[in-house]
Structure 1
Amino acid sequence: MPDQQTRPRPVAPETRSTRHRATALLTAAAPALGAYAAVRAVGLLVLQVWASAAGKDAAHLLGGRWDSVWYQRIAAHGYGYTVTLPDGSVHPDLAFFPLLPALERGFAAVTPLTLRDAGTAIAWLAGLVAAWGIHSVGARLYGRRAGVLLAALWGAYPTAFVQSMAYTETLFTALAAWSLYAVLRDRWILAGALCVLAGLTRPSAAALIAALALTAAAVLVREWRAGARADLVRRNARMLLGVCLAPLGWLGYVVFVAVREGAPFAYFDVQAQWGNSIDGGRALAAFIAGLPLPAALGLCAALGLLGWLVFLCVRQRQPLPVLVYGIAVVVVSLIGSGYFGSRPRLMMPAFPLLLPPAVALARLRSVLGAGTVVAALALGSAAYGAWTLLGPGPP
């Protein structure tokens, strides 16, 4: 007779149900993950060929330059490093949020990977998780085919080469996409918890926090106006708890910087030292005004296209959390005073902007037609990414 302690314990129905839902989600997302991986593989292949021809190391280009180095230094030594540039400006590492360095350090500790390669591996894994979440949002709203195309289009975004770098964009997008999906499923506590992690990843978590807060406010106002005022707070307790959780990650880091620097607004001073203050778009306007006329007109046309996509998102009647998040990411990216070349990268997490073209492609009768469009965009994105990484400067 077998010993009582060796008998397998029965799995709780709740656990089986959770596993079943996760397996079903992953199975449904398999085409989207395959499409996204194929698009990013094209980008990596083009980069590898181009870098080899130029005598450069593609792995170093992806994980050993620019912001990646700052994250790895934090992972290795913690905060406290500062650079003083020749013009006298000071760049402290406190401008970089802690979740990615913490993951890099943990990943490198349990694998043979260096911090550089751990950061790149995390970005690649996070890209797949982001594509899964993006597909889940798109499929829930407009069908599985639209979800697959949405994930593929996000992988072919013009600056999608950053998704393969040891940067925070893929990690943040993964957390944001799944947080929005949780809101769409009315899983507010999960949404708030994911927003906490997003707030430890990038300052653009403010867009996700706003999306959750405005959606909850709209729910409360709608129920109040409908006369359902009795037990309003108790009935929406989980939603309110999720909203209260949402800003804790971002606020926690702001408090950490304030305590470390001994000044209540030190976080904002740190960002200003990097030129990341909010100026309402003055820096963008000045940049456009300083360009040659053809370049200025081209940039204005690109901004017009961006505005048209926002208009299409509104006309598409996207759910409020998805719409607010997408628009807020765009607004935050445009009204800052930072380096102009970073703005397309900062807007990359705004995947809801790609919902209108994804739905339009999904309506094509020919799968080959939609695939051809995605393939062309993937090649264009790959070429632009390789040219940028081997040429002009930081993304």
Structure 2
Amino acid sequence: MTDLQTRAAPSRAGALRRAAPALLGYAAVRALGLLVLFVWSAARDKSGYTLLTARWDALWYVRVAELGYGYEVRLANGDVHSNLAFFPLLPWLERLVAAVSPLSYADGGFVVGALASLAAAWGIFAVADRVHGRRAGVCAVLLWAALPVGIVQSMAYSESLFTALAAWSLYAVLTGRWVTAGVLALLAGLTRPVGLAVVAAVWAAAIASFLGERRAAASLGERRTPSPVRRILGMLLAPLGTAGYVLWVGHRTGGGPLGYLDVQAGWRNGFDGGYAFARFVAGKFTSFPSAVAGAGLILGVASVVWLYLAGLRRRQPLPLLVYSGAVTALALCASSYFGSKPRLLMPAFPLLLPLALALARQRTRRSAWILGALAAVSSVYGAFWLNGSGPP
């Protein structure tokens, strides 16, 4: 990581020019996805815009923006679905957009999601460019845009906002901007529970940097190391978002520091080390049709693990490994909502870097054909998915 920090970061205007091909390509892929969704939805007498802004989690975020916290739904089986499960930054921004414009809260969620997805694409490019170069950066962004569940990036969901904050926090770490990294980690922690992954990345990188400086100073016979004030400040800021919201929920519910876990339990969600997911996969092997789906799930998990190990073999910077490892573990080891796991893995963009590097080494025409095909498949799948069961 020290080598990465020694390279000067480009100016803002220069960085935007450098990222322009990636951002234009990203916008094109997402525009294709939206076009296919709207055409598909119209053919089924549905509103594609409604599917993006007023279904599933998007409705819960709008309720937080409109009503504040305290709204809940009691199901017939006794479960309680409380909107306290949803972190506040996205609904705060929805409320802000509605306050300064004629747009509704749902419209605000769509606007925030669209802008955040572009910011996320830029952040992913910045990280990948820093680690592997510009071509790999462009490929990483297009791979992220063309994920099978990439349509979520265009929804009034919090994944794009979280990914933007996480990517830029990681970039700040790679460039030694510790206070910026801490502030962005704080905001990521106000966006989704997986903000803990960003905190872990900031802390791991800072600790590794401290140890590296001490070893370097000792080898040179120096008694003093560079001032750690900004690094320590970044470390202190990073967990405040997650900790603040979780502690507030515990106080509000009377459940103490672990009250947020009780709220998640009302949604039948928790962390069991992957036991429930393993049982879910095993249960697929009861008949031939479902066994195919089970085999696909095993292949998907194996691919994720392989990509992480590939990043490890290529010696990805420590904060990227810690972040992607934490996001992957939290996604795969959650005990409920198995259909949402691909969506929960979407912020783990460092997993795509080995593939992006491989594509960058191909001829431009070949990589363009591959990425174009992936974008087309992603667009069709996204339209089919949202017009079917959709993301839980």
State the TM-score, normalized to the length of structure 1.
0.92
- Displacement of 1:282 in angstroms is 0.6
SS in 2 for 1:275: coil
**Amino acid of the structure 1 residue aligned with 2:312:** V
- Displacement of 1:189 in angstroms is 0.3
Mapped pair 1:113 → 2:111: no
Q: Please, which of 271, 276, 295 is the counterpart of residue 283 of structure 1?
A: 276
Distance 1:231 1:84 in 2: 60
- Displacement of 1:231 in angstroms is 4.2
Mapped pair 1:259 → 2:244: no
Distance 2:11 2:214 in 1: 34
Q: Please, which of 387, 390, 394 is the counterpart of residue 391 of structure 2?
A: 394
Distance 2:390 2:90 in 1: 22
- Displacement of 1:227 in angstroms is 4.9
Change (3 A) 1:46 1:252: same
Q: Please, which of 296, 304, 309 is the counterpart of residue 311 of structure 1?
A: 309
Mapped pair 1:337 → 2:327: no
Q: Please, which of 338, 359, 363 is the counterpart of residue 361 of structure 2?
A: 363
Render the CA deviation track for 1:3-42: whole Å, top value 9, x for unaligned: xxxxxxxxxxxxxxxxx82111111111111010011111
Mapped pair 1:384 → 2:381: yes
Distance 2:391 2:201 in 1: 30
- Displacement of 1:300 in angstroms is 1.0
Question: Over aligned residue pairs, what C-alpha RMSD do you find?
Answer: 1.3
Distance 2:361 2:292 in 1: 36
- Displacement of 1:187 in angstroms is 0.1
Q: Please, which of 293, 296, 321 is the counterpart of residue 295 of structure 1?
A: 293
- Residue segments in structure 2 that go unaligned for 5+ positions in a row: 1-9, 285-289
- Displacement of 1:371 in angstroms is 1.0
**Amino acid of the structure 2 residue aligned with 1:174:** A
Q: Please, which of 72, 80, 83 is the counterpart of residue 62 of structure 2?
A: 72
**Amino acid of the structure 2 residue aligned with 1:258:** G
SS in 2 for 1:235: coil
Distance 2:251 2:370 in 1: 51
Render the CA deviation track for 1:354-373: whole Å, top value 9, x for unaligned: 10111111111x21211111
**Amino acid of the structure 2 residue aligned with 1:373:** I
**Amino acid of the structure 2 residue aligned with 1:290:** G
Distance 2:384 2:174 in 1: 39
Matched ranges for 1:53-64 at <5 A: 53-64=43-54
Distance 2:253 2:77 in 1: 23
Distance 2:83 2:223 in 1: 50
Matched ranges for 1:9-20 at <5 A: none
**Amino acid of the structure 2 residue aligned with 1:198:** A
- The answer to whether the 8 A contact 2:217-2:224 is kept is no
Distance 1:268 1:68 in 2: 21
Distance 1:304 1:77 in 2: 42
Distance 2:224 2:74 in 1: 57
Counterpart of 2:153?
163
Counterpart of 1:104?
94
- Displacement of 1:226 in angstroms is 4.2
Counterpart of 1:17?
none
Q: Please, which of 36, 40, 47 is the counterpart of residue 30 of structure 2?
A: 40
- The answer to whether the 8 A contact 2:255-2:262 is kept is no
- Displacement of 1:223 in angstroms is 3.0
- Residue segments in structure 1 that go unaligned for 5+ positions in a row: 1-19
**Amino acid of the structure 2 residue aligned with 1:287:** F
Distance 1:318 1:93 in 2: 37
Counterpart of 1:4?
none
Q: Please, which of 194, 219, 234 is the counterpart of residue 209 of structure 2?
A: 219
Counterpart of 1:10?
none
- Displacement of 1:221 in angstroms is 2.4
Distance 2:75 2:335 in 1: 18
Distance 1:73 1:392 in 2: 22
Matched ranges for 1:224-263 at <5 A: 224-228=214-218, 230-232=223-225, 235-263=227-255
Whichever of the two has the greater Rg, that structure is 1
Distance 1:242 1:319 in 2: 18
- Displacement of 1:319 in angstroms is 0.5
**Amino acid of the structure 2 residue aligned with 1:296:** G
Distance 1:36 1:140 in 2: 19
Mapped pair 1:374 → 2:371: yes
- Displacement of 1:145 in angstroms is 1.1
- Displacement of 1:301 in angstroms is 1.4
Counterpart of 2:350?
352
What is the aligned-residue identity percentage?
A: 53
Distance 1:90 1:338 in 2: 15
Counterpart of 1:5?
none
Counterpart of 2:188?
198
- The answer to whether the 8 A contact 2:327-2:345 is kept is yes
Render the CA deviation track for 1:264-308: whole Å, top value 9, x for unaligned: 121111112112211011111110111133322221111111111
Distance 2:311 2:148 in 1: 19
- Displacement of 1:222 in angstroms is 2.7
- Displacement of 1:224 in angstroms is 3.3
